[in-house]
Amino acid sequence: MSAIQQVSFQECNAQFAKVFKRVLEDHEIISVAKEPGQAIVMLDAKEYSSLIETRSYALTAETI
């Protein structure tokens, strides 16, 4: 997994199509910050599903 790239809210808003392409086609994980302490993370839905599946598997393995 690559490092999380930082993008400001203003940049994301102005160039959403480019940011979206970076996430989908270049498989970047992008943190969008509006203010300090207010951020979201954008990642491909398949990558998100994989992370959730891995987390669920790890939690299940811990209870065995």
CB atoms within 10 A of CB 7: 20
Per-residue b or e along 33-46, where b marks 16 or more CB atoms closer than 10 Å to that residue's CB: eeeeeeeeebbeee
Give the pLDDT score at 1: 56
Domain span holding position 46: 5-63
Task: Give the integer Cα–Cα distance in Å for 56 and 23.
Answer: 24
Query: pTM for the full model?
Result: 0.77
Per-residue tens of pLDDT for the chain, all 64 residues: 579 999 999 999 999 999 999 999 999 999 999 998 999 999 999 999 999 998 877 777 777 6
Give the pLDDT score at 12: 97
Q: What is the CATH number of the domain that holds 37?
A: 3.40.1620.10
Give the pLDDT score at 64: 64
Q: Domains in the chain: how many in total?
A: 1
**C-alpha triplet 22, 1, 15: angle, nearest 5°:** 15
Task: Give the integer Cα–Cα distance in Å for 53 and 43.
Answer: 15
